[in-house]
Amino acid sequence: MYSLLSTQNLSASFGSTQVLKNIQMDFDEFTVSAIIGPSGCGKSTFIRCLNRLHEEVAEASATGKVLLQGHDIYASDVDPVAIRRKIGMVFQKPNPFPSLSIFDNVAIGLKLAGVRRGAILRETVERSLKLAALWEEVKDKLNSQGTSLSGGQQQRLCIARALAVEPSVLLMDEPTSALDPISTAKIEELMTELKKTVTIVIVTHNMQQAARISDKTAFFLLGEMIEYGETSELFTAPKDQRTERYITGRFG
Amino acid sequence: MRFKLNRKKREVHLGDRVFAFILKVPSVALVLLLVSIAYYLFRNALPVIHKQGWSFVTTSVWDPVNDVYGALPVVYGTVVSSFIAILISTPLSVGVALFLTEIAPTRVGRVVGFLVEMLAAIPSVVYGLWGIFVLAPWLRTTVEPFLAKTMGFLPFFQGAPYGVGMLAAGIILAIMITPTISSISREIFNAIPRVQREAALALGSTRWEMMRLSVLQSARRGIIGAVILGLGRALGETMAVTMLIGNRHEVSASLFAPGSTMASIIANEYAEATSDVHVAALVEVGLLLFAVTFVINSLARLFISRGFRWGAPSNSPGGAK
Ligand SMILES: Nc1ncnc2c1ncn2[C@@H]1O[C@H](COP(=O)(O)OP(=O)(O)OP(=O)(O)O)[C@@H](O)[C@H]1O
Ligand SMILES: [Mg+2]
């Protein structure tokens, strides 16, 4: 039996600089996995390989395999567009479409997939906004611009936008690093709720956050995956010295 | 205690004051120049303004022998030739800008972008020559007969194919304003943050859908501004248009027919204008042109300055409710 999502010998480069080295990881369905590690160690590059966004950067390349339900998403007959519908992403900085309303920001993924029926769109928008715990705050102003919301609300709007197409995996790259503690708490709360329906991979600089929300945690260093295990174990009894040094703040 | 930044009082050092003065003089002088150009145009147009009033812009007869001047055909010619130019150039320029920013590899983009901008450096008269020797014959023998055959039911595409005429002028203008519109569009597209494009891609949009959603939709205002700026150039362009439009003082629905523009009539007649009223009539045409381009350019500024407003979410990030 295979995991929902796994990587085999995944390496990635920008030009001639290799930034990820032979990453081997499995993500089980309906879990939250956190990726921690110092700045520049390749965390973002890693999760951007998982939805094939990495290849959109000029000069970027990757080798190895990423398997979604056992199928290699880098196989030559696979359309990256289809993959990105199954593997959603939330970015570090909230990035709602400035020209679209709150409603359209959430509905756009479905519209891109060809859904036109108003009833379906409305129903999905409402469900997604409720999932993202934003519905109560915006239900009376669905037609105002997405960018008119606060930063924390915008980030939850982006989560709703990603959820609307019902992805099986949600990638989150430091989704709360630009937010205040209250918005952060809201999004963390949300994740425990979300993992009932979607598998989450989250990059975070905040180790307390990783400890609070994740089932498993991976520690990255200089493009390598040093340690990956149950969150409780990794934080209390790390196997690798470098992990221990990092989580106790004695790094460098 | 409260502080207030007062720009006047900040310059307490003698050096600063001298420097500020040196900077102030040319700015004020340029503003005065603008105002004085408008004023002298108006004053020198007075004879014909008194003589004809509004009939100057509403009638079509231009008869220097009897001192009767109706500028309608040149206003028409200016508007129509510029409109053709915009119609052709806008999709072309936006397409070029999209190609250069979104599709072409960086190095190709830079080279092609440079070459496109070089088009702006070619002197107008050279465009005119090219138009006379290449464009007009091609229009007369190939394009205009084809248009007449396929869309001849429209009044625009009826009549004899002259080659030289409104269509030729419109096309040459389109080529001349393309560098302007495409380079401004390119700047605007480049100012759109990467994360905006990635937002679309991560949702499963194709490259084209991403361009529509993250680039074109966001850049709408800016593109309109760029087009208006191009329009401003087209309205005032003189040499190439004078060489290609055929210079006939007539309002004709057919785009194949010769016409003339505000700029071309001034260039053609000013040297030979003898009577005071004739000179005044040409000056009034100049005044009209000045007013039109001034308004158009102001509009463009307005659009572009808003089109460039990007970046941070409008509310401060982290604004908890
Ligand atoms: N577009 C790019 N072009 C070239 N090199 C890049 C690019 N993006 C990232 N890199 C390099 O790849 C390495 C990994 O970057 P990455 O963004 O994955 O790090 P990260 O772990 O996410 O860091 P942070 O915690 O600061 O976000 C870094 O050394 C970085 O300099
Ligand atoms: Mg990162």
DSSP symbols for A73-135: TTSTT--HHHHHHHEEEE-SS----TTSBHHHHHHHHHHHTT---HHHHHHHHHHHHHHTT-H
Interface of A with B in 186-245 (CB under 8 A): none
* Ligand 1 site-directed mutation target among A19, A57, A219, most atoms within 8 Å of CB: A19
Residue of chain B with shortest Cα separation from A164: B203
Residue B321 has pLDDT above 60, yes or no: no
Written as six digits, the tokens of A167 are 């992805």
- Name residue, tokens 């990035």: A95
Residue A31, exposed/middle/buried by CB under 10 A (0-12, 13-18, 19+)?
middle
Instruction: Give the number of the atom of ligand 1 that is nearest the alpha carbon of residue A223.
Output: 14
Interface of B with A in 246-285 (CB under 8 A): none
Please, which pLDDT band fits residue B314 given cuts at 50, 70 and 90?
very low
Mean per-residue pLDDT, B250-262: 92
3-state secondary structure of A219: strand
Q: CB–CB of A162 and B203 under 8 A?
A: yes
Q: What is the DSSP letter of B211?
A: I
List CB contacts (< 8 A) between A82 and chain B: 204
Q: What is the pLDDT of residue B6?
A: 59
Are A163 and A194 in contact, with CB atoms under 8 Å apart?
Answer: yes
Residue of A220 and B321 predicted with greater confidence: A220
Q: What is the DSSP string of B288-303?
A: HHHHHHHHHHHHHHHH
Residue of chain B with shortest Cα separation from A185: B320
Q: What is the pLDDT of residue A29?
A: 92
- The closest residue, in CA terms, to atom 30 on ligand 1 is A40
> Given CB atoms, is A175 within the 8 Å cutoff of chain B?
no
Q: CB–CB of A165 and B320 under 8 A?
A: no
Residue B315 has pLDDT above 70, yes or no: no
Q: CB–CB of A91 and B217 under 8 A?
A: no
pTM of the model: 0.83
- Name residue, tokens 């072409």: B104
Which residues neighbour B301 within 8 Å (Cβ) at sequence distance 6 or greater?
Answer: B225
Q: What is the mean pLDDT of each run of 10 residues along chain A (252 residues)?
A: 86 94 93 94 94 90 92 91 93 92 94 90 93 90 90 92 94 89 87 90 92 94 94 92 87 55
- State in Å: Cα B312 to ligand 1 middle: 22
Question: Where are chain B's structural domains?
Answer: 16-309
> Given CB atoms, is A112 within the 8 Å cutoff of chain B?
yes
Residue of chain A with shortest Cα separation from B219: A99
Q: CB–CB of B321 and A58 under 8 A?
A: no
The per-residue b/e assignment along B24-41, b for 16 or more CB within 10 angstroms, e otherwise, is eeeeeeeeeeeeeeeeeb
Element (H, E) at A221: strand A216-221
Element (H, E) at B305: helix B276-307
Q: What is the pLDDT of residue B240?
A: 94
The pocket around ligand 1, CB under 6 angstroms, is made up of A 14, 19, 37, 39-45, 57
Give the C-alpha separation, A147 to B242, whole Å: 49
- State in Å: Cα A35 to ligand 2 middle: 10
- The closest residue, in CA terms, to atom 17 on ligand 1 is A44
Shortest Cα distance, chain A CAs vs residue B84, angstroms: 29
> Given CB atoms, is B88 within the 8 Å cutoff of chain A?
no
Q: How far lies B168's CA from each of A123, A235, B84, B159, in Å?
A: 55, 75, 10, 15
Are A125 and A135 in contact, with CB atoms under 8 Å apart?
Answer: no
Neighbours of ion ligand 2 (CB under 5 A): A 44
List CB contacts (< 8 A) between B107 and chain A: none
Q: What is the pLDDT of residue A222?
A: 93
- SS3 for B132-147 is HHHHHHHHHHHHHHHH
Ligand with an atom nearest the CA of residue A58: 1
- State in Å: Cα A42 to ligand 1 middle: 6
Q: CB–CB of A100 and B217 under 8 A?
A: yes
For chain A, which domains are there? 3-95+168-247 (3.40.50.300)
Give the C-alpha separation, A101 to A122, whole Å: 13
Q: Of A173, A14, A89, which is closest to residue B205 (Cα–Cα)?
A: A89
Mean per-residue pLDDT, B47-59: 90
Angle of helix B276-307 versus helix B14-52 axis, rounded to 10: 130
Written as six digits, the tokens of B197 are 């494009």
Q: What is the pLDDT of residue B45?
A: 92
Write the CATH number of the domain with boundaries B16-309: 1.10.3720.10
- State in Å: Cα A49 to ligand 2 middle: 13
Written as six digits, the tokens of B269 are 């007649």
> Given CB atoms, is B214 within the 8 Å cutoff of chain A?
yes
List CB contacts (< 8 A) between A147 and chain B: 313-314
> Given CB atoms, is A137 within the 8 Å cutoff of chain B?
yes
| Residue A51 CA, distance from chain mean position | 9
Q: What is the pLDDT of residue A44?
A: 95
Q: What is the pLDDT of residue B8?
A: 57
Written as six digits, the tokens of B33 are 């120049």
Q: What is the DSSP string of B106-164?
A: HHHHHHHHHHHHHGGGS-HHHHHHHIIIIIHHHIIIIIHHHHHHHHTTSGGG-S---SS
How confident is the model over B100-157, as pLDDT tens digits?
Answer: 999 988 889 889 989 998 999 999 999 999 999 999 999 999 999 999 999 988 889 9
Phi, psi of B274 (to 5 degrees): -110, -45
> Given CB atoms, is A1 within the 8 Å cutoff of chain B?
no
- Count the neighbouring beta carbons within 10 Å of the beta carbon of residue A75: 10
Q: What is the pLDDT of residue A92?
A: 92
How confident is the model over B172-188, as pLDDT tens digits?
Answer: 999 999 999 999 999 99
Torsion angle, alpha carbons of B51, B57, B61, B67, to 10: 20
Mean pLDDT of chain B: 88
Q: What is the pLDDT of residue B152?
A: 87
pLDDT cut 70: percent of chain B above it: 92
Give the C-alpha separation, B68 to B244, whole Å: 26
Residue of chain B with shortest Cα separation from A175: B318
Q: CB–CB of B203 and A88 under 8 A?
A: yes
List CB contacts (< 8 A) between B216 and chain A: none
Residue of chain A with shortest Cα separation from B209: A112
Q: Of B126, B147, B151, which is closest to residue B138 (Cα–Cα)?
A: B147
Mean per-residue pLDDT, B86-113: 92
Residue B197, exposed/middle/buried by CB under 10 A (0-12, 13-18, 19+)?
buried
Q: What is the pLDDT of residue B311?
A: 38
Phi, psi of A136 (to 5 degrees): -60, -35
- State in Å: Cα A97 to ligand 2 middle: 21
Q: What is the pLDDT of residue A243?
A: 92
Please, which pLDDT band fits residue B305 given cuts at 50, 70 and 90?
confident
Sheet holding A169-173, edge to edge: A87-90, A169-173, A199-203, A32-36, A216-221, A224-230
Instruction: Give the number of the atom of ligand 1 that is nearest the alpha carbon of residue A42.
Output: 18
How confident is the model over B207-241, as pLDDT tens digits?
Answer: 999 999 999 988 988 898 899 989 999 999 999 99
Q: What is the DSSP letter of A181?
A: H
